[in-house]
Amino acid sequence: MAEKILLGIEGGGTRTTALFLDTQGSVRERRELGPGNLRLLTEAGLAALFRNIARGSPRPAAVGIGLAGVRTEGDRQLVRQTAAQIWPGIPCLATNDLEIALAAVDGPVPASRKVLILSGTGSCCFGQAGGEAGIKVGGWGHLLGDRGSGYDIGISGLRSVIDFFDHQRQWPALGATLLRMLLLNQPEDLIAWVQTASKAEIAALAPGIFSAWSAGDRLARSIIQAAAGRLAADAMACAGHLCARQKRPVLFVSAGAVLLKQPAFDQLVQRQIRKAWPGARFLRLEKEGAWGAAVLAETLLGNGQGPTPAREAPPVPGGSPKAAAVTPGLGLTQSPTEQRNPRSLRLDRMSIASAVELMLSEDASITTSIGREKRKIVRAIGWIAHAFKQGGRLFYAGAGTSGRLGVLDASECPPTFGSDPDLVQGIMAGGFQALWNSIEGAEDDADGGSQAIRSRRVRAGDVVVGIAASGRTPFVWGALREAARLGARTVLLAFNPSLLLPRDFRPDLVIAPNLGPEVLTGSTRLKAGTATKLILNMFTTLAMVRTGKVISNLMIDLRPTNVKLQDRAARIVLQLAGCDYEQARRALEQNDWNIKQALRSIRR
């Protein structure tokens, strides 16, 4: 019987480590490759990385992969799918580098609560209690976080020597050390260098700063002490979340090149934690995270009867529950949006004129279909208007075309109605970049939807409209569930009247016109997109009318930010005040182009 080999892969910002172990824990092969941070790799780059690991190596019985940058279910799915291309038929567990690091802790653990303190090129703290999902502090990347990391120390060193030079008019010894390391000749050379330097290149300055610290350099000492304080503070914050702020016994596990290669720095971090956290215990992670990945991979082998379906490792914050737990159970093929339109079966052979006529005739039925949902639309508009009057807000949540249309409607409210940008907000799966680029897995990230609702501070009195053409988008359902939990009104706008809603949650209102199949099967930017725009137009326009932002059919809170809108504002004033154009324009100019104030000044 062939021996089973376990493959553990750890990917970070600087390098990737692959360990091939037998089931007795003996290392059969170890490989080091280039960076393995998922955020820094294209799909092709990830596949090439795995391909290089597999080349010339034994076929594993199970694969465990922990990569920096894995945050969501979409990320984990991408890793699994890519691994399946390289190791077909092999069960694979995909998670983050933090999870596998804790799994690599050897022997009996002296506390049930563990906090990993990871400091390498970047930094992060990750805590677990028993089998519960992890708590993460840090890990925001070098522009927003990475406190106490190699990058943090490197950039702090550069800033400190420049600051010293500016204030003392002397170039410090630490500055000379950094210039030597970079083969630069004078301080001014740092300007051009740092503008093009990568995160890893800046982090590579940390060993020089540690050496200067050991030699007694005062600047280096202040840099290292401050970095240790920031890292210790993150670790204690993580432990505080884990223990509900009660300082129970916690095992703090040091990991990452900075802590493991600089034991004096590790001791400094430990001393700061020990002062504030009675009962803290410490362990240095001597085994690589790839070892922990292999340990997790072994759980996929089941009872020895061969590979079993991969289980999911507990996600870090930002990960998502499985889509099935939050979305309706109806098969996607039953949605009209996924059915074939019998009128367009010959679309590829139609003349352009015939195809145009077909699309126009299909679109002509949209308003009739929407009209059948009029009662529900009226009810939603009433809720939105009431929310506006009571200080509440309107949120749209969607993915793809649905999300973009929500963002579009929200963005047009401030110039049209003079409303605060907070009043109507669009939430887009995948964020800003998804407005023009497809973000893989974003719409399947239910937890991403709920996290967006929490981060926008949705509250009771708000209205959240989830937009999903098929009615099944996990991101949207995650947003609606969380909004309901926080006390907001919830509305689902979909184009699947046969949708079966989950038993444990139903939005306050479901608006689901039956538009029938699209001319181009599944392309919901067509009729579904048009219908979405029409309905959102009604939501915001009529709610704004009900809150006094319109007189007759004129926009009295219009923001005249360009020549065209200034001309429109003048015509609005002349029609409402019964004055001539020049008087209207003069009144607007004297009142900072505020239509209401201009009207009052004329009437006085």
- Provide the CA 143 distance to its chain's centre, in angstroms: 16
Half-sphere exposure of 349 (CA within 13 A, CB side): 3
Angstrom distance (rounded) from CA 424 to CA 410? 5
> Hey, what amino acid is at 343?
R
Alpha carbon of residue 311 to chain centroid: 23
Do 93 and 297 contact (CB within 8 A), yes or no?
yes
**One-character DSSP codes across 5-46:** EEEEEEE-SS-EEEEEEETTS-EEEEEEES---GGG--HHHH
Nearest to 464 by CA among 406, 512, 417: 406
Spatial distance between the Cα atoms of 83 and 47, rounded to a whole number of angstroms? 7
Q: How far apart, in whole angstroms, are the C-alpha atoms of residue 237 and residue 123?
A: 14
Burial track 97-120 (b if 16+ CB lie within 10 A, e otherwise): bbbbbbbbbeeeeebebbbbbbbb
Q: Are strands 463-467 and 394-398 parallel, antiparallel or unpaired?
A: parallel
Between the two ends of the chain, the Cα-to-Cα distance in Å is 98
The owner of tokens 């939105």 is 384
Task: Please choose, from the candidates 91, 73, 160, the residue with its C-alpha nearest in 3D space to the C-alpha of residue 447.
Answer: 73
Q: Give me the active site residues, please.
A: 412, 443
Host H or E run for residue 386: helix 374-389
Distances in Å between the Cα of 452 and the Cα atoms of 398, 476, 536 are 11, 10, 20
